[in-house]
Structure 1
Amino acid sequence: MTTTQTRPAPASPERPARRGLAARISLGKVFAPVPSEFLLISSTAVLLTGFGLVMVLAATSATATAAGQEPYEAMLKQLVFASIGLPVMFIVSRFPLAFWKKAAWPLLLAAVVFQLLVFTPLGVEAYGNRNWIEIAGLQAQPSEFLKLALALWVGLILLRKQTNLGVWHHVFIPVIPVSVAVIATVLAGHDLGTVIILVLVVLGALFFSGVKLRLFILPAILGAVMLAVFAITSPNRVARIMSFLDQRCVDYFDSCYQPLHGIWALAGGGIFGRGLGNSREKYDWLPAAPNDYIFAIVGEELGLIGCAVVLALFALFAVGAFHVIRKTDDPFVRVVAGAITVWIVGQALINIGVVLRVFPVLGVPLPFMSQGGTSLLSGLIACGVLLSFARTLPVKRSAQPVRSPRRVASR
């Protein structure tokens, strides 16, 4: 007896046959597993940002109340930028690697044009530095975006010269002339702290590109000489350096005022701190408490334990970033990720070193934590680039149990 097998009817044009399968594939891409480096970098960035919001509130509530303002005003402004920056970080993490290679030149040009706005009527000068612009009552620091744009551009140029990195003129041209021109736009505004970070970005990119040591030393010496000349030509910076070298710091009411109060804040916190919100230095004794000296407020209110937590979070961030650098096979990813890591981790170490009086006062904020919307936004976007690179790494899948073959029933 023969049976007739009927074929399924073709799907009608109004109802595609594989819509359910397509939906499952689409959701699979959205919820695809990510490498552990992605989770490590993103979680530490989120934790540091949240920690920073709490400390900005703790550092500004007293002075805001004394000035007749709402105690939450500074924190709410920072929260707005965090609410924008964190989603943007995860959106940027979805961008493909090819996008960053194509966008390197346009982003650098746009960042330079944005930086040049500080020399227009929109520019604002503060503490001898002209590095801000003000539009409709909102201030921004364009040089913060130069850091990421310069890292991407140097990474692209060194990628194209990958086979010629042993020849000095291929390494230096056009990397050094263009980098010096970009840094000069910040140098003209007398912002030494940002100039130091930009120099570190370029040196970090050269180091992770695999340039020979003898070729790497020359740009390092050039950068050091440029920074030294820039420092000694400013009386204000000379005073900061001299007060840093003077361990007694007798000029209390001038250049020593803020460094001494930063040290006193850390000393007053001890091991366990005075308690969250109980800082004494934030009562207008420490002028830059929510900005460059927020680490001092952390030490005073949360003690050595709080400072250790901050250092541990930055260390975990560095571990995740260095794993991306080590595991990638793409020279562009290695160079740009190295430059971003040197920027964020190096800037954090410089800021903490200034508070501890290891370095003279440089005006460098603590990434993710210091008050400042532009700095927070640029740092989170840079993290998004690192997360985009982390997505290109292979994901280790757990071994599936071996199933025994099914027995085929005999007819």
Structure 2
Amino acid sequence: MATTRTPPVPAPDASPKRGLSARVSLGRVFAPVPSEFLLIASTALLLTGFGLVMVLSATSAGQSPYETVIKQGVFAVIGIPLMFVASRLPISFWKKAAWPALILATFFQLLVFVPGIGVHANGNNNWIQILGFQMQPAEFLKLTLALWIGYVLYRKQTLLGLWRHVFIPLVPVSALVIATVLGGRDLGTAMILVLIMLGALFFSGVKLRIFLLPLVAAVAVVTFFAVASPDRMRRIMSFLNTDCLADYYGDCYQPLHGIWGLAGGGIFGLGLGNSKEKYDWLPAAANDYIFAIVGEELGLIGCAVVLALFALFAVGAFHVIRKTNDPFVRIVSGGITVWIVGQALINIGVVLRLFPVLGVPLPFMSQGGTSLLSALVASGVLLSFARSLPVKRTDAPPRRPARTPVPAAR
């Protein structure tokens, strides 16, 4: 009797599985992002582009009108891709990088005291020059300090009710980092670092009495360094002088021309590129006083647009703080938001003569490649946090109402 053989069953093709996994991977890449991501990214890009235009306009009166904006553009071309690369990194990466990043940034800041590398300008040692590029290392301390404080307070989340666990190692390490900046006599940047520390403490949820102690200590330290410097005291006294015209050729020269630039623009401005103050009347027109050029050329409307963009940036960042369930994300986002928005308000307040001249740039807009680069990378960190927010499912099928069991007939 002949036996019949069963033909072998062909192995299933693995290509459908590979195709499915490829579709899943592409779906993750092109998955819709939260509205906070779009808000933060769009405002950062708009402020950067706006800043490049205003830097070009403010420096167009020089002999090389395109040299400054090209240098600024190089940092923008580097910083914008870095922002989106940082947005793809997971939160675990930022937690692991907190300590190494702060140590590396602190050693980078110490280069300002190395002869031949550090640059001494206007009484301050806060710049370095390497391979023809001039950088301000303290700008990187802002982001790394926010990440480090967020990581330390995140690890001690259950112990924040005890003041010793809040203060150690946060206060000693932060004081050492800020001391490296004060050693170069850069009080403006040191004040921003203090604001970052206070903002991170506030959003960590520590008790009010524990938060007030660092606040009082920070005010005392800033007051001491302001009084200890004759140059700073002179600028503060000129700010408090109600009759500033009497000291026109002294410390009141720059604040007066900043106010005159804003007032000369009116509502609609003189037109882009038509500033008069940039012709050697207003010092630091492309740096700390870029907002005065905005007001002069684009008027009140241009100033309102800048303020609205920073307000939208703050709204997106505060939504991240409010919606997240991760204490690390909340603390670091709070520190970064206080840094960028607070620094913008301080810079605009200096131009409006509400504060004395502090030498603080306007984030995203002022001339300075290191400042722009650090602000863009910090925005990338916020975008990374925005990706981690819980997303509401809207595509789930509606649930059917439960059927009421029909009693059986007797």
TM-score by length of 2: 0.93
Quick one: which of 87, 91, 96 aligns to 2:85? 91
**Residue 384 of structure 2 corresponds to which residue in structure 1?**
388
User: Does the residue aligned with 1:131 lie in a helix, a strand or coil?
Assistant: strand
Q: Note if 1:175 corresponds to 2:176.
A: no
Query: Do residues 272 (structure 1) and 271 (structure 2) align?
Result: no
Matches within 5 A, 1:249-268: 249=244, 250-268=246-264
Give the secondary-structure state (helix, strand or coil) at the position aligned to 1:22: helix
User: What code does the residue aligned with 1:24 have?
Assistant: R
**Residue 106 in 1 paired to residue 94 in 2?**
no
Give 1:226's aligned residue.
Answer: 221
User: Any idea what SS the aligned residue of 1:329 has?
Assistant: coil
2: CA distance between counterparts of 1:234 and 1:227? 11
Q: Unpaired runs of 5+ in structure 2? A: 1-6, 401-410
Shift of 1:157: 0.7
Task: Give the match's secondary structure for 2:125.
Answer: strand
Q: How far apart, CA to CA, are the structure 2 residues paired with 1:396 and 1:45?
A: 25
- CA distance in 2 between partners of 1:257 and 1:388 (Å): 44
Equivalence for 2:124:
129
Cα distance between partner residues in 2 of 1:18 and 1:381: 38
How far residue 22 of structure 1 moved from its aligned partner, in angstroms, is 2.2
Q: Deviations over 1:3-29 (max 9, x none)?
A: xxx9983257xx744332222112111
What letter matches 1:75 in structure 2? V
The alpha-carbon deviation at position 310 of structure 1 amounts to 0.2
Among all aligned residue pairs of Structure 1 and Structure 2, give the percentage whose two residues are the same amino acid.
73
What is residue 405 of structure 2 aligned with on the other side? none
**Cross-structure match for 2:406:** none
Task: Give secondary structure in 1 for the equivalent of 2:60.
Answer: helix
What residue number does 2:316 align with?
A: 320
For 2:337, the aligned partner's letter is T
**Aligned residues of 1:35 and 1:396 also touching (Cα < 8 A):** no
Match of 1:153 in 2: 148
Tell me what 1:188 maps to.
183
Alignment of 1:198-237 (within 5 A): 198-237=193-232
Cα contact 1:45–1:368 (8 A) shared by 2: yes
Displacement after TM superposition at 1:389 (Å):
0.5
Q: Secondary structure at the match of 1:166?
A: coil
> 3-state DSSP class of the match of 1:61?
coil
Runs of 5+ consecutive residues of structure 1 not aligned to the other structure? 1-5, 405-411
Residue 350 of structure 2 is aligned to residue 351 of structure 1: no
Q: Is this contact kept in 2: 1:11–1:17, CA < 8 A?
A: no
2:66 to 69, 72, 90: 72
Instruction: Tell me the residue number matched to 2:404.
Output: none
CA contact (8 A) 1:151 1:339 kept: yes
Deviation at 1:221, TM superposition (A): 0.6
Q: Is the 1:118–1:133 contact (alpha carbons within 8 Å) kept by the matching residues of 2?
A: yes
- What amino acid sits opposite 1:388 in the alignment? S
2:297 to 297, 301, 313: 301
Instruction: Report the aligned-residue RMSD.
Output: 1.7
Q: Distance in 1 between matches of 2:202 and 2:399?
A: 49
Structure 1 pair 7–78 and aligned structure 2 pair: CA distance change class (3 A):
farther
1:286-316: CA deviations, max 9, x gaps?
Answer: 1100000000000000000000000000000
